[in-house]
Amino acid sequence: MAGTGTAHLRPEDETLLRVQDLVVEFPAGRRKVHAVSGVSIDVRRGETLGLVGESGCGKSTTGKAIIQLPRPTSGSVRFEGTELTGLSGKKLRDVRTRLQLIFQDPISSLNPRRKVGDILAEPLRIWRRGDRSEQLAKVREALDAVGLDPDVAMDKRPHQFSGGQCQRISIARALMLEPELIICDEPVSALDVSVQAQILNLLDDLKERYDLTLVFIAHDLAVVRHVSTRVAVMYLGKLCEVGDPDAIYESPAHPYTAALLASIPVPDPAVRPDDEDVLGGDLPSPLDPPSGCRFRTRCPRARERCAAEEPEMRAVGPDQFVACHFPLVGEGGDGAGAPAAADGDGHADQSARAAGSERADGDGSDGDGSDA
Ligand SMILES: Nc1ncnc2c1ncn2[C@@H]1O[C@H](COP(=O)(O)OP(=O)(O)OP(=O)(O)O)[C@@H](O)[C@H]1O
Ligand code: SF4
Ligand SMILES: [Mg+2]
């Protein structure tokens, strides 16, 4: 099957993580769920890649397949030059200590029967890192780093904390083995807006403090813009658009990206998205994805070619790549080119407003662990 191409990938020696043509399919009776169908992404050390798309498009499956849970059906996942798809046993477990995943639901991902101190110390015990007093010191340091008082938090169980506090505990657990890369799967979607900002700022601070590289999964483009150095937009198991967040938000090239941007709520009722950008219909079933371009059943620009031929990723700017036969910017479309200024500026404003200022608001109480 033709993938969506790799034109957007950087040279391998520049990247910490490089995923190429990742395919994940789940059996469903005699059929298959095509959850991820040829996704290629890469992340340089120190970058934050925002992976965005609506519910069910395959974001979590991509994140999990990177750490080989589940094993991809095919494709390559290279981390620090090591191919992970062929690894097993201790070698794979060893790599996973440097490559952590924060799960989508902060509360259910923590064992309700264990005390927080034990939850955090467990990876240190399993990997025999330090003696008991060193492990205790490390747990206290991690709790402190995520803004929770170790004296209060250590002996409590997860259900005694709020959602935001549980997310802080999940982040602390991910830090215990000093990973290089953390995949954060929708770390703020389940949280109140004010708490979201606190967690986003916390991740930003921890990234600096611990030299982390992040893959940040979200369905909300406004959130992703705030944290990302590069953005990849996903639709029904495939990538649509990849590149520099500013370029993508100011002038989206893929009709789906434009639709996602148009769907960001704007406080001013006088500002309405263009009709062409409003996303109608539901995500088609991944059991039987549309031929050609998977977005064609909802795309206002779709033509015959879109059903017959899958679009390949190609450059439309210095760091902007799109998989579309008739993109909104660049050459190769129908000559309609960019509806740029109106669309782009409008969307940029919307996303900026929705995302808040440069640094997310609600930061005042950050650090005291008092998330509501
Ligand atoms: N273990 C599984 N078995 C069968 N189908 C699965 C499995 N895991 C995921 N899927 C299907 O794969 C598709 C992608 O799911 P995934 O959870 O990766 O989406 P997502 O983008 O993370 O969505 P959300 O934003 O809701 O978390 C969905 O159709 C989902 O139902
Ligand atoms: S390839 Fe065709 S259907 Fe797909 S996004 Fe582009 S114009 Fe729309
Ligand atoms: Mg998910």
pTM of the complete model: 0.87
Ligand nearest to the CA of 240: 2
Structure tokens, 22? 């990742």
Residue 311 near ligand 1, beta carbon < 6 Å: no
Domain boundaries, position 31: 1-112+174-372
Could you tell me if residue 150 is inside a domain?
A: no
Residue 69 belongs to domain with CATH number: 3.40.50.300
5 CA distance to ligand 2 centroid (A)? 15
Could you tell me if residue 224 is inside a domain?
A: yes
Residue 153 near ligand 1, beta carbon < 6 Å: no
316 CA distance to ligand 2 centroid (A)? 15
56 CA distance to ligand 1 centroid (A)? 5
235 CA distance to ligand 2 centroid (A)? 12
pLDDT of 335 reads 41
pLDDT of 7 reads 96
Could you tell me if residue 156 is inside a domain?
A: no
Which residues, other chains included, contact 335 with Cβ-Cβ below 8 Å and sequence gap of 6+?
Answer: none
Residue 58 near ligand 1, beta carbon < 6 Å: yes
Look up residue 325 and give its DSSP letter: S
pLDDT of 277 reads 66
Could you tell me if residue 161 is inside a domain?
A: no
Could you tell me if residue 42 is inside a domain?
A: yes
pLDDT of 263 reads 84
> How many separate domains does the chain show?
1
Residue 56 near ligand 1, beta carbon < 6 Å: yes
Could you tell me if residue 286 is inside a domain?
A: yes
Could you tell me if residue 126 is inside a domain?
A: no
Residue 294 near ligand 2, beta carbon < 6 Å: no
48 CA distance to ligand 2 centroid (A)? 28
Which residues, other chains included, contact 124 with Cβ-Cβ below 8 Å and sequence gap of 6+?
Answer: 130, 135, 138, 139, 176, 177
pLDDT of 191 reads 85
pLDDT of 192 reads 85
Residue 38 near ligand 2, beta carbon < 6 Å: no
Could you tell me if residue 220 is inside a domain?
A: yes
pLDDT values of the chain reduced to their tens digit, one per residue, 372 residues? 435 799 999 999 999 999 999 999 999 999 999 999 999 999 999 999 999 999 999 999 999 999 999 999 999 999 999 999 999 999 999 999 999 999 888 788 899 999 999 999 999 999 999 999 999 999 999 999 999 999 999 999 999 999 999 999 999 999 999 999 999 999 988 888 888 888 999 999 999 999 999 999 998 888 898 899 999 999 999 999 999 999 999 999 999 999 999 987 766 666 565 666 667 788 899 999 999 999 999 999 999 999 999 999 999 999 999 999 999 998 655 444 433 333 333 333 333 323 333 333 333 333 333 343
Give the span between the Cα atoms of 111 and 116, in whole angstroms. 9
Residue 37 near ligand 1, beta carbon < 6 Å: no
272 CA distance to ligand 2 centroid (A)? 23
